[in-house]
Structure formats: C-alpha cells, structure tokens
Amino acid sequence: MKLQHLAVIFVIIIMPISIVMSAYIGNQINAINLQNSYDANLINATYDAVKAFQLNTTNNKYASISNSKIRDIEASVNVFYNSLNTSMSGYSLAAKDLEDYVPAMLFTLYDGYYIYTSYDNVYSTTEADKKVDEKVEINLDGKNYQNGLKPYVYYSAKYKLRNGNIIIVNYTLDNEITVYGDFGDGYTTRSGYLINPDYVKNINDNNKTLKYGEDGNEVTIEPEKLTEHLVTIEKRESGGTGTDSGDYNYIFYQNKKIYQETNQDIINEIGSEYFWYDNYIKTPVNDPNIIADLNENKQKYGNGNTIMSTSAFEYYAKAYDFSIWVRDKLGDIEQGDMIKNEDGISTIGTATDYLAENTGTKKIFNVGKDNDPMLSSSTFNNHRLAVIRKTIETSLNTVISNYRSTELYDYAMPVMTDDDWYRITNNVSMVTFMQGMSIGYRYYNNYAIITNNVNKEVIKPENVYIITQEKGSTNREYHQPGCKELLEGLKNDTLEIVGAYPTASFQRQSVKLTENSDDDVHFYLQSRGKQTGGGNTQDLITITGCYNCIVSSTTNYDTDEIIAGRSLINFQDSVENGGTGKIAFSNNSDEYLEVRKAYLQALARERYDLYKSNFDLEEI
C-alpha cells in the first residue's frame, strides 16, 4: 500500500476517532472537576448550616423547646442555601434556583428527626352545586409545591407481645426510651433511662446517695456542687452599661439553671439570693415556692451554705425503678417480635436482613450485666441503632423518590455506607442531598453528613470532660474520661479532679454590648476568677484542653471500659495489637475509682437535666 493511501486512511478514520476520544476524555475531566467542586461546596454549605445551628443552640437558653428548635433549624436551612449559592454563584442565579436540586435535608435530633423537603400544601376540592350533603373529594393536584419542614418523626418501633398485644417503643440517641401500650393490665405510658439495675445499691432517698457498680469497684453517687463562670451585663451609675463577672454555684430547677449569689450587697440590690441568667442579666427568683425548695436543698445537702445538685442520684434511682419495670414487662421481646413498617401488622420473624444489625434471639430489654444499655456493645444499643436507621431510611427513601422538581431526572436515595449510618444514628447531625444538576454527560448525585457534638440535645458518653488542676498551681485542663495522662497524674499525685462537665461547658460564650463586635466580651463557663470588660482579665484562671487527648487519643482507654468498671489495658499492649494484655490500671485502684465516680456522676447528671419532651406518668 502506498504511503499516500495510509495518509488518507489516517485522515478519514484515525483522526475523527482521535478527536472524539479527546473530546470524551476532556468531558470526563471537566465532569470530575465539576463534581469535586460540587462536593466541596455541598460539604462546606452543610458545615456552615450545622455551625449556625450549633451557635444558636449553644447561646440560646431555650434551645431545647420545640418552637425554638424549629426556628433554629429553619435558620440553618437559610444559611445552607446562602452558603451554597455563594460558592456556586457561577452555576446558579439565586439561592431559590438551588432548591430544585436539593430533594431533602435531614436533621437528626434527640428523639426523632425533621426532613426539609417540598410538599403540596394546597388541596383542590370539588363541590357539586355546593350542597351540604354532597360528598367533598379532596385531592392533591401536585401543582402547589413549597419547601418546608415535614412533621417531626420519632425513632419508634412496634412489637408484638406474647399475649398478642401491640406496644410501641420510642428510642433516643442515648439510653432513654418511652413505652406505650397495653401489657395486659390496662394502657400504660412510661418514660425513663435504661441501665443495669443490678449495679444500683444502698439507695438513700433522704440523703440522696447510692452505690453504683459491682462489689469491690462501686462508686458513691451523692449531692455535688456545680459552678460556672458568668459575665453579666450591669447598669452603671453614669447611665451606660458594662460587665461584671464571677463564679456562681447552680442547680437545674425544672430544666433551667438557677444560680446562687453570695455577695450580700448584690443580694440586697437585686432582692434575692437566687437568680436566672437571662440575656446575660441577673433576673431575681421571687417565687416563694421555688425559694423554699432552694433553701431546703441548701440546708439538707449544702450545710446551709451552698445549693447542691442531686440530679445524678435522681438519674440512677429513677432509672433503677424504670429498668426493673421494663425487664419485667418487655424482657421476652426479641428482634423477631418487631412489626414491619411496611404493613404495620406482620412481624419480622426469622428475617435476618430486615434491620441493618441482626441481634437474633437475644432479649433486647432484658437489661443486666450482659446487656447494659449504657454500653455501646449491648444488645439494646445495637437494636436501638438499627431501629433508628430503619425509620430514617424508610422516610428518606419515600421523600426523595417522590420528589419531582423536574421531569428530566428521577430522584432516588443514594446508597449510604455503614460508617455514614453510624455517624447519623449516633449524633445530632445534618444530612443534605443534592441531585439532578448536569455535570456534562451525566447528572450530579451526592450527599454530605456533618455531625454536631456541641449541643443541648444529647449527652453522649464521649461528650463529658473531666477537669483537673495541677497540685501547687492554678493550671487547669480538661480531659476525656479515659485519658492516660489523667489517670497517671492522679496515680502520681500531681493532679486532682475539680469537676466534670459536658462539651458545651467548654465552648466560648460571648456577651454583645454594642453593634461593634470589638466591644464583645468573651468568657468560658469553666474559667475561674474575675475578668473585666473588653476581654481584660484580673486573676482569671483559664482552662485548656489536654494535649494528649487531642493528638494521642488512640492511647486513651475506651469509655465503655470505665462505664462497665473493667480494668484498663494499654492500647499498645492489648492482645489485639500483639501485646501481653497486662493491666495498666486495676478497676479497684484509687485513681480509677476517682475518675469513674466523677465521670459517671457527670454523665448521669447531665442526662437527667436535659429538657425532655416525654415524661414518666408514674411520677405525676
């Protein structure tokens, strides 16, 4: 074949193929770059929305109340769209344009979840001659969609008892449940925390003390003094406003903090020894019934001087009674007794793939040492997470599949990994879905998950920090409960425990005096001492995070081990890592018991003091 013929063949056949391949590869690269850009924008917008929710709830004294919660969520939605629109300004004209490509936003909260999506909010009616006795047909016409929050959905499951009755259990992000149903002796509604009741001993309701744990490593739960550092807005004689600061003892009273003033001059000025901290102002407590309760608390538990928190005792004492009742009434329930969501009639039976976690024939509510609901590895906890996942998955799948902002794209729920579901079901979180935007030869379809560990919704086992002070110094640090440095410092007698509080207590608080942000006064609830306006400090003892907890968390001990009261083994020396499994801290050593007491008391107190939408009718 002549060279000219080869050239002709190359021009006619090879060149077009090369051009097409080049264009295809170019489109592939552009699509990948565009998808990566959308991924980053979606994650950043979701993070901004969660941060807004976090800031609103942390600084909002009523963050747990339903209306306030809805307002904070709707504010987060606005932040999400504004942030997404800003980062995607080259692809959309306005934030409203992006709503068509976001079929759903999920907000998981303590005992349920909201889904923000579009829904038809208008009904079309037909009334023949508008006669009174004419039947009225109500149909959704599908032409009046608007975006908003759908009704709140609880994490719940139905179960069939041995007597054939159906009961409902509502779950939460921790070990609290609410039970509805007829157990054979009439309809009952009860709420409470599930624990291992066999660990609770020597309950003394008069002194508010009890023992918790096994013989040899039990700890004493008793009244405790709680303290916070506050900055308050004060009126000046000149007519302006300024700030003052101080350390105040407090307790939770009816789910709200009440503080105790010790300066007699200020007591005379505000007219009460006790005050609410509302909008950074001391609002005196004047209700005589509340004052009588506080004075009684001070006399009985604080030697007549200090109000003392008994919340930790109340948590374990009430959880003990509730857990005994649950074990008696629901102790035989297995996974197979759960009613399917699809028909609300038939049980799971022997199906092992209906839930993400198969607990088989293990008794879910037969609580005890081998099934301690406070432990992440318990049968109860595994089933709880599976139920939460199932309820969310079912709702999301329906919402996204029914979403119809365009006829050109079929919306469908993406496949989410087990790790993603673990993050969703274990935390207050926000999940955003974005689909249907063209990225060249295909459509974009992805989701973003951001969890919120600083909130007033739930206290997870890892969300409690222990505060220590270096002996002979004013240096203070906060540690994770399993911190190796914490335990070794107590063993070497170089540290002492001065308190334990939730994550939110270590977040910066701000007092806004004027519109100028430079005038804001910042403070931390667990600092101690005196500080003046403008950020200046005077004998202020600040608190810092433990370096070991931040950079070497893998060397710390598992929280489950401390809750269960097991001896601690170094991570590096564990059998799983090829070590000998030698015990580093015995479960009955002084330093271990000191950490365990501080941690268990704080975890119980903070969970008990959380705002609850459900309450136990047996206590009324």
Cα 546 to chain centroid distance, Å, stands at 23
What 562-565 contacts at long range (C-beta under 8 Å, 24+ apart), as own/partner pairs, is 562/481, 562/482, 562/595, 562/596, 562/599, 563/372, 563/374, 563/375, 563/461, 563/599, 563/600, 563/603, 564/372, 564/375, 565/213, 565/214, 565/217, 565/596
In single-letter form, the type of residue at position 456 comes to K
User: What is the mean pLDDT of the segment spanning 377-401?
Assistant: 94
Q: Which residue has the tokens 């995070």?
A: 545
pLDDT in tens, 5-14: 666 666 677 6
Q: What is the pLDDT of residue 65?
A: 55
Cβ neighbours, 10 Å, residue 94: 10
Highest mean pLDDT among 31-40, 72-81, 221-230: 221-230
Q: What is the pLDDT of residue 361?
A: 94
**Residue 136 confidence class, pLDDT cut points 50, 70, 90:** very low
Inter-helix orientation angle 66-87/15-59, to 10°:
150
**Residue 128 confidence class, pLDDT cut points 50, 70, 90:** very low
In single-letter form, the type of residue at position 307 comes to I
Q: What is the pLDDT of residue 22?
A: 58
Stretch among 375-384, 399-408, 516-525, 561-570 having the lowest mean pLDDT: 399-408
Distance separating alpha carbons of residues 583 and 566, to the nearest angstrom: 10
User: What is the mean pLDDT of the segment spanning 206-214?
Assistant: 95
DSSP state of 378: S
Burial (CB count <10 Å: 0-12, 13-18, 19+), residue 122: exposed
For residue 332, CA distances in Å to 56, 322, 518 come to: 43, 16, 62
Q: What is the pLDDT of residue 458?
A: 84
User: Is residue 541 within 8 Å of 527, Cβ to Cβ?
Assistant: yes
Question: Hey, which bits of 355-424 come out as E strands?
Answer: none
Q: Quote the mean pLDDT of the chain.
A: 84
Exposure string of 496-531, with b = 16+ CB inside 10 Å and e = fewer, is: ebebbbbbbbbeebebebeeeeeeebebbbbbbeeb
Say if residue 50's pLDDT is above 50.
yes
pLDDT in tens, 466-509: 999 999 888 899 999 989 899 999 999 999 999 999 988 888 88
Residue 275's closest CA among 254, 289, 290, 255?
290
DSSP bridge partners of 211: 201, 220
User: What is the mean pLDDT of the segment spanning 580-587?
Assistant: 81
Say if residue 129's pLDDT is above 80.
no
User: What is the mean pLDDT of the segment spanning 221-245?
Assistant: 82
Highest mean pLDDT among 237-241, 250-254, 449-453, 537-541: 250-254
**Residue 176 confidence class, pLDDT cut points 50, 70, 90:** very high
pLDDT in tens, 62-103: 545 556 788 888 889 999 988 888 887 655 555 567 888 889
For residue 262, CA distances in Å to 181, 278, 283 come to: 49, 19, 15
User: Is residue 481 within 8 Å of 457, Cβ to Cβ?
Assistant: no
Between the CA atoms of 556, 561, 562 and 566, what dihedral angle is there, to the nearest 10 degrees? -120
Say if residue 382's pLDDT is above 80.
yes
Say if residue 548's pLDDT is above 70.
yes
Residue 501's closest CA among 602, 607, 604, 611?
602
**Number of residues written out for the chain:** 620
Stretch among 18-32, 98-112, 202-216, 284-298 having the lowest mean pLDDT: 18-32
What 531-538 contacts at long range (C-beta under 8 Å, 24+ apart), as own/partner pairs, is 531/231, 531/245, 532/243, 532/245, 533/242, 533/243
What totals of helices (H) and strands (E) does the chain contain, helices first? 13, 29
Cβ neighbours for 411, distance < 8 A, ≥ 6 positions apart: 103, 400, 401, 403, 404, 435, 436
User: Is residue 537 within 8 Å of 531, Cβ to Cβ?
Assistant: yes
Inter-helix orientation angle 590-609/311-330, to 10°:
80
Burial (CB count <10 Å: 0-12, 13-18, 19+), residue 2: exposed
> 3-class secondary structure for 46-74?
HHHHHHHHHHHHHHCCCCCCHHHHHHHHH
**Residue 440 confidence class, pLDDT cut points 50, 70, 90:** confident
Q: What is the pLDDT of residue 287?
A: 94
Could you tell me the two tokens for 548?
């070991």
Q: What is the pLDDT of residue 576?
A: 58
For residue 608, CA distances in Å to 253, 376, 569, 602 come to: 11, 19, 31, 10
Say if residue 367's pLDDT is above 50.
yes
> Which is higher by pLDDT, 88 or 104?
104
For residue 449, CA distances in Å to 87, 414, 438 come to: 18, 13, 22
Cβ neighbours, 10 Å, residue 590: 10
